[in-house]
Structure 1
């Protein structure tokens, strides 16, 4: 069965949501119930958090070799996904997690019905943020009121397709990254919206999926076409303080200077918790950037 991991941005645990979740032995019996299944991440809103904000597949639970009496829930690579829309704990006064028995439990199982509802709300369907290519239709998790899919087998199958489909994941990732940067290019500062209301900016992975980069906003940047092209080809990169680094291979530095933001620093996300992670920036500098 699926489950919930409560994660705080000020946590003292060794959590890396896209890679591992650390918890004390007291939660082992609960966590074991959703080993080999999906887990959603919840960040308490009262602590400045986002509510339900991501989902990942719990591949295995093992003893933590670095901390006695603790365990690690290891996340299956390429399964972590930040939601397009954060899901609050309550909607119209009703708990989204309707089967909640203990609001204080940091690790707890989740009913399939509640899981499907959270996924449906989190993935969303914001067409204004979707790319203009690759419009193949892949079903998202069904609504709880969808009478055409009354069987659990169908719910399980559809949600699995939604969470593992590259088309769906790319669309959700783009929506989440564009929202984090207010649809503005992090490198140039430009915010262009076309006549149809669609943002002319792409969501770039800092560490590509092909190189085991997760679909996490911390591994993403909102970039306009030219900036995206230069970033992917290693002509520009970012330092840990988000200063823009320019490769010596750039042949038209004068024009590039006019394109970059005046302070030559990338824009930070609206939520500091979504800032590019230093490990991904370091990977890009070491593996993509041309000195």
Structure 2
């Protein structure tokens, strides 16, 4: 029993760090650049599937699969996002929503490569070379390192020129362009960074869960949850995604175990609604506003 609870809580800790990293990557686009993408699960799924296919089908090291996944994901991110930059607000979000839907259809139907709805089972071969570990503690260390890497990148962007350019584009793109900021270039850079970090998260997920099927990585629910964590924690703040994940991921685990799908979603929605009404800046933003100067 103690071993079960130990693994259970370790799994929640691992997923808390992973969700924080994924939401932090999304926060770079949405929180700083105003690019509210609903296509993050496509980047996540591509990173996971490229690694899994390379390893199980071709015997390629997952580390090489990770590199390939990053290049493929960033390339597709540029190809898909660039035309969408002409759109604003909800129209941009709806356009990006098509990407994960299309990728799930492709993954379900390209059975020769992805094994379709049957999914891909990754063989358990522990070792650094395969990024597969016998202990969840090793995964927790890796997930924490990924979360802190995303946080460090966000802090760097928050204080740097790129962050200032992104905020200028977010607040008034026409004015930013008139000041000499290359708005499309800035948006492409942050999209590529976000996509690459999300692909790394997909790689981690594949080597942690050791099984993939299209709904588990391309579902729109993943994109929505990634976004909600930043919104609840504090959009456009480096700590927001971490705080959002620290609050919601353990809560989600408890609700899933004790209440199942329906009540869980209602309670989850109530927390989101309460945050929007009582703390529209998110937890971190609200605490900063209350802090005495």
Question: Which category of TM-score, normalised to the shorter sequence, fits these structures?
Answer: under 0.3
TM-score (norm. length: structure 1): 0.24
Larger radius of gyration: 1
- Larger helix share, 1 or 2: 2
- Larger strand share, 1 or 2: 1
Higher RCO (C-alpha under 8 Å, 6+ residues apart): 2
TM-score (norm. length: structure 2): 0.24
